[in-house]
């Protein structure tokens, strides 16, 4: 096992402890790498022993997808804790002010901004799904289940009319997860 991801995860924890405004999408990607992708890299030698080099980049993007999903699910909760993980440049691009978020109103601009980031996460999930069969056979079910579950959180938020400002969203329909699981493995 490589020790580097363990130290990178500590950097991610420091980024949370000493939280600073996230300005650009690149800053957000870096944050996601340190707090989530590093964890995937830690366990990669266990879940993809033969193909860890082949799936390394997709493991990194799965961590980013899952962290972006967390961020999109927890916008209101994070705001209540004086944290905004949405890059200020993206908020500005979609003409959203922090006071707009604090009002907890779901506007068209908010939905467009949310979908912009959700589409990035979805692209990451889709890229990851393409390599799932390269993981160790005894790991595929667990890794794919986690990815599909997190991916489904995005649809749960959509089903709740994008209310992630004052409501905690979670997956309710587990039967659709099994269908997606089977589709990915076909």
Instruction: State the Cα–Cα distance between residues 31 and 123, nearest whole angstrom.
Output: 18
Domain boundaries of the chain, sorted by first residue: 4-185
CB 128 within 8 A of CB 68: no
Q: Which of 111, 32, 29 is nearest to 70 (CA)?
A: 32
Q: Give pTM, 2 decimals.
A: 0.94
Confidence of residue 175 (pLDDT cuts 50, 70, 90): confident
Write out pLDDT tens, residues 17-50.
999 999 999 999 999 999 999 999 999 999 999 9
What dotted CATH number matches 4-185? 1.10.600.10
Mean pLDDT of the chain: 95
Residue 1: its pLDDT value, please?
Answer: 82
Question: 70, exposed or middle or buried, with CB in 10 Å at 0-12, 13-18, 19+?
Answer: middle
Instruction: State the Cα–Cα distance between residues 121 and 53, nearest whole angstrom.
Output: 22
Q: Which of 137, 179, 136, 134 is nearest to 155 (CA)?
A: 179
Q: What is the DSSP string of 50-85?
A: TTHHHHHHHHHHHHHHHHHHHHHHTHHHHHHTT---
Tokens representing residue 44 in the block: 């990669």
CB 48 within 8 A of CB 136: yes
Residue 176 has pLDDT above 90, yes or no: no
Write out pLDDT tens, residues 42-91.
999 999 999 989 999 999 999 999 999 999 999 999 999 999 999 999 99
CB 73 within 8 A of CB 157: yes
């Amino acid at each position: 096992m490589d020790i580097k991801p363990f130290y990178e995860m500590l950097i991610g924890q420091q980024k949370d402890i000493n939280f600073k405004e996230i300005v650009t999408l690149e800053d957000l990607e870096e944050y996601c790498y340190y707090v989530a992708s590093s964890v995937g890299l830690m366990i990669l030698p266990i879940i993809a022993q033969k193909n860890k080099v082949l799936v390394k980049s997709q493991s990194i993007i799965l961590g980013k997808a899952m962290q972006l999903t967390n961020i999109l699910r927890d916008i209101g909760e994070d705001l209540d804790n004086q944290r905004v993980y949405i890059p200020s440049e993206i908020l500005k691009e979609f003409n959203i002010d922090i006071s707009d978020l604090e009002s907890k109103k779901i506007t068209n601009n908010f939905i467009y901004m949310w979908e912009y980031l959700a589409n990035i996460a979805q692209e990451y999930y889709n890229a990851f799904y393409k390599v799932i069969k390269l993981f160790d056979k005894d790991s595929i079910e667990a890794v794919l289940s986690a990815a599909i579950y997190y991916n489904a959180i995005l649809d749960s938020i959509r089903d709740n009319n994008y209310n992630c400002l004052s409501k905690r969203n979670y997956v309710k329909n587990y039967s659709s997860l099994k269908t997606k699981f089977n589709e990915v493995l076909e």
